[in-house]
Homo-oligomer: A and B are copies of this chain.
Amino acid sequence: MSKPKEVTIYDLARKLNVSIATVSRALKDDPVVSKKTKKKIFDLAEEMGYRYNHFARNLREQRTYTIGVIVPRLNSYFMSTVIAGIESVANNEGYTLIISQSSEDAGKEIASAKTMFNNRVDGMLVSLAYDTEEISHFDQFIKKNIPLIFFDRVSDHPECTSVLIDNRKGAYEATSHLIAQGCRRIVHLTATPKRNVYIDRLAGYKQALADHQIPFDEKYVLINNLSQEAGTQAAAAILQMNPLPDAIFAANDNCAVGCMLTLKKAGIRIPQDMAFAGFNNDPVSTVIEPNLTTINYPGYKMGEMSAASLINHLNGVNSIDTTNTILLRSELIIRASSLKTKSDSE
């Protein structure tokens, strides 16, 4: 497939009978060139399909105005909300995003990082895959002074900022609420404890038990990939427990919903027999019946905050070197799935 010849500033200059320098200056909006001439040049550039030579410019300026974004999955409500937040800030500041998903796979994350590096992104925003064990694949950015910000699924790194919520506190509040409703045998559905978000939620769950003199029992922690289907499978395991648990705290709403649907079919009454709490405030939490108690998780805000920190750093407005962690607010939203108070008096 042959491409038509690229329109150059020489073509514009020849056609308008002006110097190449004039065209070049006009395109840079140099005040030396009159407004009238500029307009003529802009109009012709538009008409002939002239493309500003970004690559050549980039080679000179060493900036690409591109931000690399690596997320675990694009088809999650939370993540697409974060990306919408990132994009809104990036677009306003003239940056283009290159987005890639690791599909929760460390190998793919490493490959994506390499691609982003070779594409010379100006900065990176990263949320880690489930199974990423170590993060040396990001050292190439650090070595080149390319700033990197972790969001949500973060890793402690002396030269990177992390933007996240206090997952431990969120989990502590959800678990304490279930305990306040009279629950004592609380199952925790969560993902592999390699990622901060799940480590911290498990820690918050344990702390709440300890603070209420409820012994921690390993068998109540069920590890899966937190999908809706995984929730369905977890329900089968829960139904085998003897005695049955009296509450479930899931590390995300989708998994909680899959679990609830299956338990309901098995005749379990929610919240009377088992109270439920999730995490994320996904829209599905207000569709499931009874509506799901959850932790409200500010995805859009997290995206905006991450992008703004990175771009401020790139523009020299505010360095991230001195900022280790930015914690966003989360909050417990209590709904019918956990409110046993009335049901108890039945």
Contacts from A to B (Cβ < 8 Å)? 1-4, 49, 51-52, 54-56, 58-59, 62, 73-77, 79-81, 83-84, 87, 91, 96-101, 108, 115, 117-120, 140, 143-145, 228, 254, 257, 261, 283-284, 286-289, 313-314, 316
Docked complex Cα distance between A145 and B49 (Å): 12
Task: Verify B96–A97 contact, CB threshold 8 A.
Answer: no
- On chain B, the residues within 8 Å of A58 by CB distance are 55
Q: Sorted from nearest, which 8 A-B pairs have the closest CB atoms?
A: A75-B80, A74-B80, A99-B99, A55-B55, A80-B80, A287-B287, A75-B81, A75-B84
Task: Verify A54–B283 contact, CB threshold 8 A.
Answer: no
- On chain B, the residues within 8 Å of A91 by CB distance are 100, 108
- On chain B, the residues within 8 Å of A84 by CB distance are 73-75, 101
Task: Verify B257–A287 contact, CB threshold 8 A.
Answer: yes
User: How many identical subunits does the complex contain?
Assistant: 2
User: Could you pull out 30 A-B pairs where Cβ atoms are within 8 angstroms?
Assistant: A1-B314, A3-B144, A3-B145, A4-B145, A49-B140, A49-B143, A51-B118, A54-B118, A54-B119, A54-B120, A55-B58, A55-B120, A73-B84, A74-B74, A74-B83, A74-B84, A75-B80, A75-B83, A75-B84, A79-B80, A91-B108, A96-B98, A97-B99, A98-B98, A98-B99, A254-B283, A257-B287, A283-B284, A287-B288, A289-B289
- On chain B, the residues within 8 Å of A59 by CB distance are 55-56
Docked complex Cα distance between A55 and B61 (Å): 12
Docked complex Cα distance between A100 and B283 (Å): 23
- On chain B, the residues within 8 Å of A75 by CB distance are 77, 80-81, 83-84
Docked complex Cα distance between A228 and B51 (Å): 41
- On chain B, the residues within 8 Å of A54 by CB distance are 118-120
Q: Nearest Cβ in chain B — how far from A203, in angstroms?
A: 30
Name the contact of A100 in the complex, choosing from B55, B97, B143 (C-beta under 8 A): B97
Q: What residue in chain B is nearest A55 (Cβ atoms)?
A: B55
Q: What residue in chain B is nearest A289 (Cβ atoms)?
A: B289
Q: Nearest Cβ in chain B — how far from A160, in angstroms?
A: 15
Docked complex Cα distance between A80 and B52 (Å): 31
- On chain B, the residues within 8 Å of A144 by CB distance are 3-4, 49
Additional A-B contacts beyond A1-B316, A74-B80 (18; CB < 8 A): A3-B144, A4-B145, A49-B140, A49-B144, A54-B118, A54-B120, A55-B55, A55-B59, A55-B120, A56-B59, A76-B80, A91-B100, A96-B115, A97-B98, A97-B99, A98-B99, A284-B284, A287-B287
Highest count of chain B CB atoms <10 Å: which of A52, A54, A58, A117:
A54
Q: What residue in chain B is nearest A59 (Cβ atoms)?
A: B55
